[in-house]
Amino acid sequence: MFSSPLTAYTGTIIIVLTWLNQVFVEQGIPKDGKEWITFAIGNVTGLAALFAKDYNKSNAGSNLPTHTVPSNK
């Protein structure tokens, strides 16, 4: 589901902090356009990080030719 643990943890932390900020600092549901935009940007950023790939990970195949290792019988 998630492509990389580091970015998944980062995305989860961003989303949780966005919601905690909204509940405890802003005191409830966003009331105006600025609060809605800030809340939406925090959630979208968290989701982007949640599904992003780490910088040093790849699902790309190798261009090296495959070969069979002979058995030692």
pLDDT tens profile 56-66: 665 555 566 66
Per-residue pLDDT at 51: 83
How many domains does one find in the chain?
Answer: 1
Q: Is residue 14 part of a domain?
A: yes
Supply 23's token pair: 């509940």
Q: Is residue 67 part of a domain?
A: no
pLDDT in tens, 43-54: 999 999 888 876
Q: Is residue 73 part of a domain?
A: no
- Regarding pTM above 0.85, the answer is no
Q: Is residue 11 part of a domain?
A: yes
Contact between 36 and 11 (Cβ < 8 Å): no
Per-residue pLDDT at 57: 64
Q: Which domain holds residue 15?
A: 5-51
C-alpha to C-alpha distance for 55 and 35, rounded to whole angstroms: 32
- Find tokens 């995305």 and name the residue: 11
Average pLDDT, the chain: 83
Q: Is residue 57 part of a domain?
A: no
pLDDT in tens, 2-48: 567 888 899 999 999 999 999 999 888 889 999 999 999 999 999 99
